[in-house]
Structure 1
Amino acid sequence: MAAARSVTKQAAVQKQAGGFSAIFACCVGSSRTTSKPAPPQKPTAAQPTRSLSSTSRPKPIPHPSTPAMAPTDTTAHLAALRALLTERNLHAYIVPSEDAHQSEYIADCDGRRAFISGFTGSAGLAVVTLDQAALWTDGRYFLQASQQLDSNWILQKFGLPETPTKEAWLADVLPPSSRVGVDPTLLAIRAAEALQSALENAGHELVAVADNLVDAVWGDDRPATPNNPVTVLSVEFAGRTVEDKLAAVRAELAKPLRTMGAPTATAAPAPSAPKSLGDATGHGLLLSALDDIAWLFNLRGSDIAYNPVFFAYALVTADEAILWVDDSKLNDEVHEHLAAANVTVRPYTAIVADLTETHVPAFETQANVSKFVIDGRCSLALVEALGKDRVHIVSRNPVTSFKAVKNAVEVEGFRQSHIRDAAALVSYFAWLEDELVVKERTDIDEVDGSDALEEFRSKQHNFVGLSFDTISGSGPNGAIIHYKPEKGACRIIDADHVYLCDSGAQFKDGTTDVTRTLHLKGTATDFEKACYTRVLQGHIALARAVFPKGTSGFSLDILARAPLWQVGLDYRHGTGHGVGHFLNVHEGPHSISPRTGSLDVALVPGMTVSNEPGFYHEESDEHRGFGIRIENVIVVKEANTPHQFGGAYYAFENLTMVPMDKNLIDLSLLSVDEKQWLDAYHAECWEKVSPLLEEESIAWNYLKKATTPLEA
């Protein structure tokens, strides 16, 4: 899945003290909840299937509602929102993408930005004034946003030199002394502070709004808040007990705060730690990121489509561990699991009241110098509940850092789940080639393809669901970086055109994310082959990298782009994102990206990350439209170098075991070393994946052909 180049999150500040408990309870709780029974586990199967029937099997991680890749008329919604702005004496309103946990991917009930704007991408921010509306998004979504936004909206292409920041745009379009409204429960504290400062410098006021105005416009049509069951992830898959993880967190809290939040690889003091902290320690760690909480307590859920997480908050102190979660989600096994680790369960909506009425008073009785530890993603509402003078904000909390470095059990789970996933992908590509090329079918569209792939995956052992919406793009649709096909509005998969398939799965023992670009008939143009081969060269260069301890993804990103740069081409997304272990497919804090944010975190053994350079060409007079991306998940490992100047050296191990499409390779561009690397990779794919396929089956023969040496 194309690595994120995040849009800056927006935030706001409550001017008056108090009021946040009521606001927060309104936003995090909902009387319109539905409880869904846990779906039964799919029986495992050693062999993939060719059946396309997917209606009879359960989807433990539910699919979200289907968006359309066409403009939505937002006139009525904007008029209703502007009427509310006038009532509240507001001149603008900020609508972020995130939920109260700063989640990248959200439940349907939290899709406020999509509702008001019509743009359904995962990253973006909307700003509505009394007479204008603008949406900021990053390079992954420029094309999609241009198609989905109607004439009421101005598309602001984040990251381009000519694009103003939201603050600069507001300063330009608002009258003096304007009031800008926000929902403080949806805004991260660091972003809130930055936004408040910028608006005040422009002479405007930031106003916290007690009820979300988009929700008011949405009304009864707003989807119900998910209330799905929570399950235990056994140590067999997690590799560490909850008690062990809590002990590690408490050990970090006992250390001086000035050292907290530093990159795991260097253990250096956090660069933003104030000198005044001295030897102050952490009173408690407050967690709001859903994947951090799921990892810490060895629990999984399905409140957000494709992300095995559940709505919750957590606080860990020296002698307590509290989990705020709706008790109706928890069965006896979960209660026993938490009780064994001395974890107290409290109602999800009680978080603010508990902090203000119980934990802050307890904190005040402490004689020692300590603070509540949060990271910059924590909402402004929670910070106000604790009191800003009682919190220490770190760039990364300890759980985020622990979670990023997979233990031996998790790494082995990644290996095995990726092999099974490869068997499903090979089966799908073989089926697709047989149907389109051999049988010459012309009625399989992009949705049919993604459904078929999901069916093949569902037969694999430990399969739970998909890890994101499958990107199945034929021809010009492949140029839409995060394209989602819709039945009735998508293209037929054309064997004469480039086909991009970016997909992934959630298995109990790992999360997969793989992109392959194919030309099924082998009649690609010279330009398509040249572009694909240069993307492949960048992929190989990164996969082969050896680098010293302390190296960040920022330093490695150039390896993947250099072959494209040589001919004046590039791509508008990061090269790699962290990948969770049966958790979110996008995971921090590390990445491989040209953005300076990736400078702060060094890559260390056990970190999983994607390797996904690409190139996207929109339809033109000279060339037809197409998209290319080649993505493997890789894990950092110790490198066996003959020397160790300055310390240890690291390298990558490929986890993804799906062959590249030789139909798109221009062999004249590849060096001898690159050909040898690809032949060795294909030999490994054959060795590991072929035992899962029926001998002489269509899939087995496809894999055999795809993995023969390049010049055999």
Structure 2
Amino acid sequence: MAPFNSTSRLAALRSLMREKGVDVYIVPSEDSHSSEYIAPCDARRKFISGFTGSAGTAVVTLDKAALATDGRYFNQAGQQLDANWHLLKTGLPDVPTWQEWASEQAAGGKVVAVDPSLIPSSVAEKLDEMVQKAGGSGLKAVSQNLIDLVWGDERPARPSNPVVLLPEKYSGKSTAAKLADLRKELDKKKAAAFVLSMLDEIAWLFNLRGSDIIYNPVFFSYAVVTSDSATLYVDESKLDAECKGYLAQNNVSVKPYEAFWEDAEDLASAAMSAAEAAGAAEPPKKYFISNKASWAVKLALGGSRFVEEIRSPVGDAKAVKNETELEGMRQCHIRDGAALIRFFAWLEDQLINKKAVIDEVAAADKLEEFRKEEKDFMGLSFDTISATGPNGAIIHYKPERGSCAIIDPNAIYLCDSGGQYLDGTTDTTRTLHFGTPTPEQKKAYTLVLKGNIALDTAVFPKGTTGFAIDCLARQFLWKKGMDYRHGTGHGVGSYLNVHEGPIGIGTRKQYADVALAAGNVLSIEPGYYEDGAYGIRIENLALVKEVKTEVPPSDRPFLGFEHVTMVPYCRNLIDESLLTEQEKEWLNESNRTILEKMKGRFDGDELTKAWLERETRPF
């Protein structure tokens, strides 16, 4: 992975900064909708720095440049950034956040600027305070994006792909019912309207799906919902007759995507008139936006005087799957598991028996072929991480066609992959060794597996957060002085984004703010990584459900997990001496379930049947 030469692009950006009177320019990863995964036209941070990870913020001054990212990407960023860049390893002791670093550069009255559509309002306001406290002139909103000006005509066009209706046999609930629930929340909060900017929330609310962002079935849009109206801002040319009919049936108006900004300003004017009529500084009812909505959205709606930021009620509702969605998750994981089992059996046969030379991309392509044969497959849910040996230690590694490694049958192979299906979204990681692993590798794998089992079998009272239970997955590693630099679990959408808030399992502050609830779908994915040697991760998706306890709870129910991933674990990497009898029985029960679900799926495929029977033999 050779570093990208950023010299000329940084020079062009700094020339524009001088022209615009900007001393410090911030380049976030996200698009105008706070999307984690973005369309090529919005990859501004990648354009200026060369760093391709999904998380990170670049800060450029007239003579320095820094990029901040988290532990998932330390290794990758170290390889991709050239000497023009200083890497801020977020979360490590004595390493400043990008906000702190930017504020330090602002001392002496310097101007810090950002495109207001690319940064959440709450982050912008906090940064403004930090900059002023450090002696800067505050945070300036520059609506004409400077990276776009440097990019010029080479910048890709914004996607405008067709939008399709997701039938209620998959969504489980009509848009009319979802809107009614949202309006109840608005009434409780005495809100004038809720303004939606998150693409997956809009797709879920209106039972529509798109393909404007690769791997994420969403489309560029905004929406405004009041007590008696709902407006979807999307280019009408993207909607077919079925979509238009469904929206009309559910009393949803459609306006052009760009019309949102003018309408937002009209809403601000209406709020001002309401305030004046009431003889008050603020209107009787405010507009509510998500705490992830951009600074630009808040400014267009009139700022703090007319706007209140909250955790999105749509995001909360979307995270609690209905029975149709939960059953869809179970079913799509059976089909996805079958594709993975066929792939692992095929790969082992090719490497060991046929002595084939297969690189990481060719393996990922073959896995996608197997998935395409499964019912209702709509595409991948993210770039497949197909990593041999030391590449597995790069937590979010992406093999590049033509320059990736050949899979070494005598090294650990890590495969993290997922699919989008009409009835759900999958994300599974398995780590394998086709030869003879070292005792240290077997020990590390088994400790990771023990953590996965400990969290899978956890029982906890309603109201418990993912922050509180994260340590259950790390405990066995911690006892040996080992750990991993990523979260233990993330929420997963229902034929939507593979990373879905607001819930998760990990040490991030936001995971302490939202309790897990029955109906949530999360990943459980502890790991261990030896830089330059290998990576281990074991990931299942699990549904949160109510569980019965020996003593009936007096005041609140208890919750637990039901894992739906149907792929066995690597017997070759398990050190059985490190497992308890209870852990062995858990593995045996898991394997019995996999065999039951896969019954009849591999008739005539003796290779796959033999592999599955070997990997699921009882302990």
What TM-score do you get using the length of structure 1 for normalisation? 0.84
The letter for the 2-side match of 1:284 is A
User: Separation in 2 of the partners of 1:191 and 1:171?
Assistant: 13
**Is the 1:320–1:342 Cα contact (8 Å) retained in structure 2?**
yes
User: Separation in 1 of the partners of 2:130 and 2:177?
Assistant: 43
Task: Verify: 1:233 aligned to 2:163, yes or no.
Answer: no
Task: Verify: 1:149 aligned to 2:81, yes or no.
Answer: yes
Q: Give the equivalent residue in structure 2 for 1:273.
A: none
Q: Give the equivalent residue in structure 2 for 1:641.
A: 549
Deviations, residues 302-345 of structure 1 (Å, cap 9, x unaligned): 00000000000001100100000111111111110100011010
**Is the 2:491–2:501 Cα contact (8 Å) retained in structure 1?**
yes
Aligned with 1:574: secondary structure? coil
**Is the 2:268–2:300 Cα contact (8 Å) retained in structure 1?**
no
Match of 2:132 among 182, 200, 208: 200
**Is the 2:458–2:561 Cα contact (8 Å) retained in structure 1?**
yes
**Is the 1:234–1:298 Cα contact (8 Å) retained in structure 2?**
yes
CA RMSD of aligned residues (A): 1.3
Match of 1:570 among 483, 493, 498: 483
The letter for the 1-side match of 2:236 is D
Aligned with 2:447: secondary structure? helix
Bigger relative CO (Cα 8 Å, ≥ 6 apart): 1
Match of 1:616 among 510, 529, 535: 529
Aligned with 1:652: secondary structure? strand
Q: How does 1:311-350 map to 2 (within 5 A)?
A: 311-350=220-259
Q: Give the equivalent residue in structure 2 for 1:248.
A: 181
User: Separation in 1 of the partners of 2:485 and 2:441?
Assistant: 18
Aligned with 2:404: secondary structure? coil
Deviations, residues 546-580 of structure 1 (Å, cap 9, x unaligned): 11111111111000000000100000000000000
Deviations, residues 186-241 of structure 1 (Å, cap 9, x unaligned): 11111011111100111212222131000011111111110000000000000000
Q: Give the equivalent residue in structure 2 for 1:499.
A: 413
Q: How does 1:36-75 map to 2 (within 5 A)?
A: 69-75=1-7
User: Separation in 2 of the partners of 1:308 and 1:698?
Assistant: 35
The letter for the 2-side match of 1:79 is A
What TM-score do you get using the length of structure 2 for normalisation? 0.97
User: Separation in 2 of the partners of 1:685 and 1:393?
Assistant: 48
Q: Give the equivalent residue in structure 1 for 2:439.
A: 526
Please report how far the alpha carbon of residue 691 of structure 1 lies from its aligned counterpart in structure 2 after TM superposition.
2.5
Aligned with 1:627: secondary structure? strand
Task: Verify: 1:706 aligned to 2:619, yes or no.
Answer: no
User: Separation in 2 of the partners of 1:379 and 1:610?
Assistant: 28
Please report how far the alpha carbon of residue 701 of structure 1 lies from its aligned counterpart in structure 2 after TM superposition.
1.7
The letter for the 2-side match of 1:218 is W
Cα distance change on mapping 1:545 and 1:175 into 2, 3 Å: closer
Aligned with 1:207: secondary structure? strand
User: Separation in 2 of the partners of 1:324 and 1:187?
Assistant: 21
The letter for the 2-side match of 1:626 is Y
**Is the 1:420–1:692 Cα contact (8 Å) retained in structure 2?**
no
The letter for the 1-side match of 2:363 is G
Q: Give the equivalent residue in structure 2 for 1:407.
A: 322
Match of 2:367 among 438, 453, 460: 453
Q: Give the equivalent residue in structure 1 for 2:404.
A: 490
User: Separation in 2 of the partners of 1:152 and 1:247?
Assistant: 53
Task: Verify: 1:296 aligned to 2:241, yes or no.
Answer: no
Cα distance change on mapping 1:470 and 1:391 into 2, 3 Å: farther
Aligned with 2:600: secondary structure? helix
Q: Give the equivalent residue in structure 2 for 1:263.
A: none
Q: Give the equivalent residue in structure 1 for 2:285.
A: 370
Q: How does 1:506-517 map to 2 (within 5 A)?
A: 506-517=420-431
User: Separation in 2 of the partners of 1:686 and 1:501?
Assistant: 21
Q: Give the equivalent residue in structure 1 for 2:563.
A: 654
User: Separation in 1 of the partners of 2:67 and 2:307?
Assistant: 32
Aligned with 2:386: secondary structure? strand
The letter for the 1-side match of 2:607 is I
Q: How does 1:52-131 map to 2 (within 5 A)?
A: 69-131=1-63
Aligned with 2:430: secondary structure? strand
* Aligned residue-pair number: 611
**Is the 1:475–1:626 Cα contact (8 Å) retained in structure 2?**
yes
User: Separation in 1 of the partners of 2:238 and 2:99?
Assistant: 41
Match of 1:554 among 439, 449, 467: 467
**Is the 2:298–2:307 Cα contact (8 Å) retained in structure 1?**
no
User: Separation in 2 of the partners of 1:182 and 1:662?
Assistant: 51
**Is the 2:25–2:60 Cα contact (8 Å) retained in structure 1?**
yes
Deviations, residues 443-499 of structure 1 (Å, cap 9, x unaligned): 100000000000000010000000000000000000000000012221111111000
Please report how far the alpha carbon of residue 644 of structure 1 lies from its aligned counterpart in structure 2 after TM superposition.
2.8
Match of 1:386 among 283, 301, 309: 301
Please report how far the alpha carbon of residue 174 of structure 1 lies from its aligned counterpart in structure 2 after TM superposition.
4.5
Stretches of 4+ aligned residues off by more than 3 angstroms: 170-175, 362-368, 389-395
Q: Give the equivalent residue in structure 2 for 1:26.
A: none
User: Separation in 2 of the partners of 1:419 and 1:588?
Assistant: 24
Aligned with 1:227: secondary structure? coil
Match of 1:473 among 363, 370, 387: 387
Please report how far the alpha carbon of residue 695 of structure 1 lies from its aligned counterpart in structure 2 after TM superposition.
4.3
Aligned with 1:314: secondary structure? strand
More displaced 10-residue stretch of structure 1: 655-664 or 394-403: 394-403
User: Separation in 1 of the partners of 2:375 and 2:545?
Assistant: 26
User: Separation in 1 of the partners of 2:398 and 2:306?
Assistant: 41
More displaced 10-residue stretch of structure 1: 569-578 or 362-371: 362-371
User: Separation in 2 of the partners of 1:525 and 1:364?
Assistant: 73
The letter for the 2-side match of 1:213 is L
Unaligned runs of 5+ in 1: 1-68, 258-280, 620-624
User: Separation in 2 of the partners of 1:421 and 1:676?
Assistant: 24
User: Separation in 1 of the partners of 2:54 and 2:8?
Assistant: 23
Aligned with 1:134: secondary structure? strand
Q: Give the equivalent residue in structure 2 for 1:47.
A: none
Q: Give the equivalent residue in structure 1 for 2:535.
A: 627
Aligned with 1:123: secondary structure? coil
More displaced 10-residue stretch of structure 1: 695-704 or 143-152: 695-704
Match of 2:94 among 145, 159, 162: 162
User: Separation in 2 of the partners of 1:524 and 1:108?
Assistant: 40
Task: Verify: 1:583 aligned to 2:516, yes or no.
Answer: no
Cα distance change on mapping 1:384 and 1:528 into 2, 3 Å: same
Aligned with 2:378: secondary structure? strand
